[in-house]
Amino acid sequence: MTMAGREFSEPLHQIRAIHIEVESILQSLAALHDENPCASCTHVCCKEVLCRESVDSDFLRFVLGPRVGDYSENDGWHVPGSGCRLGYGRPLICYEYFCERFDTQEVKVTRQLSRALKTVYASVFAGQHMLVVEDINRISANKLRMVQGRLEALRDLANRALRQALKERLSQQPGNGHAVTSQ
């Protein structure tokens, strides 16, 4: 399969699809936090220098696909007033970072899953993290299978965490399964 004039193996495309699923789950978990301080924060943590990893990394460019052309040299992916434009292909720091306003027990699972996403890609080529490998096509089939297995396990773990968080959220809602009687 080709993307942006380059050939990529089927295992890389499978990894890309699972990576996008994991990002989506992490974003869904973050959206469930009762108070999302990012929405009202006046000190924007997102900086172009952080966003740059998504266009400098061969793997994240591959994940982004044609969206990479939408990158702003001035603002990165940040849109003032609405936040990040990316649904996937974000630098991994975006999932690891939670400022002190997020320092709650509720964030603990999301933080652990975010850190696990980073470790999925450790030591895939010549001891390098996948995000710094200059040509991801050089990663061996065995390493790609290992990454895919790790990602699938993380996706399953993240899905369980999301289901649990949704279950807890629903149990806190009025009318949480108790019959409502009419008069």
Say which range, 51-55, 73-77, 128-132, 178-182, has the weakest mean pLDDT.
178-182
| Contact criterion met (CB below 8 Å) for 16 and 63 | yes
CB 125 within 8 A of CB 103: no
Q: Which residue has the higher pLDDT, 34 or 84?
A: 84
Distance CA 135, CA 174 (A): 53
| Nearest-angstrom CA–CA distance, 153 and 133 | 23
What percent of the chain shows pLDDT beyond 90?
50
What are the backbone angles phi and psi of residue 140, rounded to the nearest 5°?
Answer: -65, 155
CB distance 128 to 122 below 8 Å: no
pTM comes to: 0.83
pLDDT in tens, 101-147: 665 666 788 888 988 999 999 999 999 999 999 999 999 999 999 99
pLDDT digits (tens, 9 = 90+) for 142-167: 999 999 999 999 999 999 999 998 99
